[in-house]
Structure 1
Amino acid sequence: MAPAAERIVAISCISVGIGPRGDTDMLARVAIVDFAGNTLLDVYVAPTHTVTDFREAKTGIKSANLYSSRAQNIRVVYQTVCSILRNKVVVGHCLWQDFNVLGVAHPAKDTRDTALYLPFRTTLRTQQQVGLQTLNYRLLGLRCSEPYVDPLENARVALNLYRSYAANWEAAVSSRNWPCDLPPGRYSTNYN
């Protein structure tokens, strides 16, 4: 049985880089939408460490986005995200990365990760994880993330992919035939 629409939300996060080489992720923006695609949350997050790589070419995020009065404290964002996700089925792409950068854990049975959904890989004839832009274009005929990755858009794209395949996805879940690959093992603490 499919979860009720009011139990489904989609999430996407964007990170900037910290550390000497800028290769450690730190949350910069998070977006969450409801089943209809309405925005529940879309905020920039004030840095807790010195940002060494804004990844502007990919994210479009500038210093002014994070070092402004509009950027929210990570503790407030964490509490808000946890409140929204509680008892929800969470849709997204590479959810383990979002959960990790947020510092949250979520029940694996209540996740619908488009990066791990095996029928998408079968349709595209690959064993490898497929990027969200490719899934969106190849399965729905739409483009996204142009010119920058936008977490609000990505949450909606993941949601649209899920909704397009929800009947089969939920039938597999209901029959206890989990239709998804496992996330990378090092992220197992992000699932409970």
Structure 2
Amino acid sequence: MKKPKQTQLNPNWLQLQQKLNDSKASRSFKTSDKVTPESILGKRKERPDEESNDSQINPLTPVNNDSSLTDAVAMDCEMVGVGQGNKSALGRVTLVNKWGNVIYDEFVRPMERVVDFRTKISGIRPRDLRKAKDFWTAQKKVSELINGRILVGHALSNDFKALLLSHPKKDIRDTSEYQPFLRSSSRRALRHLAAEHLGVQIQTGEHCPIEDARAAMLLYQRHKKEWEKSIKDQFRLKQKQRKSKQKKKHKIEEASNANHVEIES
């Protein structure tokens, strides 16, 4: 038997078919090469970056730009050394509102000669006090700003001493004295409270009074409901104790008057 003749293809058709096959193979290779690293692995690599950016948001950053005077303000002061260096004097005072925006921040020139700027802690340098506010001007302004308002801060007794000011006890919210913040009845540093309750690191080097005031205010805001309730409970307890003492005093006076009447009769 004769073998069937093989049909010969047109040379032009063979060339076209070869080009089409090469083109398909090329597209297949490029597609698989691009999809794997860019569309799959690439997306996986982006997720940790997005999460890390979110975790880096500082809670002390104000949520708005409103610098108005609010019903509650936080204060922090930085001190310098005068006299023999062991005596503290006001070197800078800062006030922020309830959102953490600065409403007053001034360097203050002490009445006595500064012998220790305590820069490692205070962050104050000689150049900062050359054009600073005089003490009495700063004191008057702070007094006006805190008058009639809730004052938040940490160890505020030190700030009051430096400012030669006082404030009604009922309007003071001191984070160093708030019972839930104490440990074994001992006061804790503001940086420890900020790390534990706010998840932020402060005072790692030179102190920033703006940052410290914001930390104190945020601690207060996050515990405001419980804090204010404890203040009201303390006030009611004191009122109850005061009334009880007055009743006892009244009874003693009545008994004493009755005895005088009996003796006279």
Q: Report TM bin, short chain.
A: 0.7 to 0.9
1:19 to 78, 83, 88: 83
AA aligned opposite 1:162: Y
AA aligned opposite 1:169: W
Structure 1-normalised TM-score?
0.84
Instruction: Note if 1:45 corresponds to 2:108.
Output: yes
AA aligned opposite 1:27: L
Q: Percent identity?
A: 33
Name whichever structure is richer in strand by fraction: 1
Whose Rg is larger? 2
Q: Distance in 2 between matches of 1:80 and 1:47?
A: 16
Aligned residues: 168
Alignment correspondent of 1:114 = 175
Q: Distance in 1 between matches of 2:121 and 2:213?
A: 17
Question: Larger relative CO (CA 8 A, sep 6+): 1 or 2?
Answer: 1
What secondary structure sits across from 2:170 in the alignment? helix
The Cα shift of 1:177 comes to: 6.0
Calculate the aligned-residue CA RMSD, in Å: 1.5
2:234 to 176, 180, 188: 176
AA aligned opposite 1:154: D
The Cα shift of 1:147 comes to: 2.0
Gaps of 5+ in 2: 1-68, 237-265
What secondary structure sits across from 2:104 in the alignment? strand
Alignment correspondent of 2:250 = none
Alignment correspondent of 1:164 = 222
Q: Distance in 2 between matches of 1:16 and 1:45?
A: 10
1:6 to 70, 73, 76: 70
What secondary structure sits across from 1:176 in the alignment? helix
Alignment correspondent of 2:254 = none
